Structure 1
Amino acid sequence: MSISDARPPEKRGGAGMRFVRSFVRFQLISTPICLGLICLGLWLTGIRVGLDVQRLIGQPACMPSLVYLWKPGMPHQPKVGDYVLARMPKTGLGVGAREGDRIVKKIAAVAGDSVKVEGTELWINGKHAERLWLAKSIPGKAPGDFDADFTLQEGQLFLMGTTKESFDSRYWGAVNREAFLGYAIPLF
């Protein structure tokens, strides 16, 4: 019998096991502290965490990511490319999020931009921007039913999702700034 076998089981394993035990102990202490500090920082800055619940329950994703941060209010003028958190407008189409639900979308056009939807094609400021991938699958609707040609007024934004199948302004038009809750930052 060797000397190492004569030691109690908790003493066996040498430096490797001591390292593992100290690492686990460190993680058990530091992880809750870090999470607490993150939560405190978010609370102090007014930043909130949001989840795409539909994705969690296996439904089609309605947010650009599973988890996102959002800051209430609109302190600066929104610009193309910003992500915003808004309330779903009333669409009357019976698909997508319910009226008033929170949605995260990317700004595709702002006040002064021209938007044209013709058939299944979308143009913003005369440039082809995207297609209307859902136009043929919305019950009771045909692609031409979404045709529109307008210029966004002050306080209006044209929102688009980050997936081809996103239900967004291509189908329900511009959203007024009053519907916006704040800016969003998709995480993962």
Structure 2
Amino acid sequence: MIERHTAAAALARWGQSLRFARSRRRRFARRGLALGGLAAALAATIALPPRPFLVWNASASAPIGLYRVGGTDLATGDMVIAWPPAPARDFAARRHYLPANVPLVKRVAAEPGDTVCALGQEIFVDGRWIANRLIRDGAGRPMPWWTGCITLRRGAMLLLMADSPASFDGRYFGPTDRGDIVGKATLLWAR
């Protein structure tokens, strides 16, 4: 009789340890799947960076503060969050105007169909003067200039802060591709 109880107890312990091991494997598998999903989500943000919803502007060319990134239906006069063209982004980073991973806050000065001219120090949109360009930056270094007249094609916009003469914008690097514009900028809080 004692042998039977001992055998039954051993069998019960074995069944309990089997259930515990199975439960542990399931927990491990669930954690592995969750960790794998998290790693995949992080990898996706590297391949396809998420669109920002809030941007802090620290540049004096636009009001310093917190901006909400909104819709993409844009018109002349709208404030936008945008990435400068790659060569301008590299130039701005080398000169320490703006880090390469920080977007610009600028105003749409011209949209598709408008004729934009850069003649000497002056910028014109549809024959109307809108801004001057600086020959040198605050450190005395020469500024890049583009020259001539172009009619903005579909998907191109000129971004320029006319009331900020030292702003690094389209007066120096020309039109911006519509694909580089993240969205409309709405000032939520100004410093």
Q: TM-score range by the shorter chain?
A: 0.5 to 0.7
Is the Cα–Cα contact under 8 Å of residues 73 and 183 in structure 1 kept in the other structure? yes
2:20 aligns with none
2:141 aligns with 139
Residue 59 of structure 2 is aligned to residue 51 of structure 1: no
1:110 aligns with 111
TM-score, reference length from structure 1: 0.61
TM-score, reference length from structure 2: 0.60
Task: Kindly name which structure, 1 or 2, has the bigger radius of gyration based on alpha carbons.
Answer: 2
1:42 aligns with none
Q: CA deviation at 1:65?
A: 1.8
The correspondence of residues 1-188 of structure 1 with structure 2, limited to 5 A, is 48-52=53-57, 55=58, 61-62=59-60, 64-74=62-72, 76=73, 78-90=74-86, 91=88, 93=91, 94-95=94-95, 96-132=97-133, 134-137=134-137, 139-141=141-143, 145-161=145-161, 162-186=163-187, 187-188=189-190
Deviations 1:129-185 (A, max 9, x none): 1101x333373457xx43231110000010012511100000001010111111101
Is the Cα–Cα contact under 8 Å of residues 68 and 184 in structure 1 kept in the other structure? no
Q: CA deviation at 1:50?
A: 2.2
Kindly provide the amino acid, as one letter, of the partner of residue 87 in structure 1.
W
* Structure 2 gaps, min length 5: 1-50
Kindly provide the amino acid, as one letter, of the partner of residue 117 in structure 1.
A
Is the Cα–Cα contact under 8 Å of residues 108 and 157 in structure 2 kept in the other structure? yes
Deviations 1:81-115 (A, max 9, x none): 00111112222544332444211100000000001
C-alpha change, 1:101 and 1:62, in structure 2 (3 Å) is farther
Is the Cα–Cα contact under 8 Å of residues 122 and 132 in structure 2 kept in the other structure? yes
Q: CA deviation at 1:123?
A: 0.7
Runs of 4+ more than 4 Å apart: none
Q: CA deviation at 1:117?
A: 0.7
C-alpha change, 1:102 and 1:146, in structure 2 (3 Å) is same
Identity across aligned pairs (percent)? 23
Is the Cα–Cα contact under 8 Å of residues 88 and 100 in structure 1 kept in the other structure? no
Is the Cα–Cα contact under 8 Å of residues 89 and 99 in structure 1 kept in the other structure? no
Is the Cα–Cα contact under 8 Å of residues 55 and 69 in structure 2 kept in the other structure? no
2:9 aligns with none
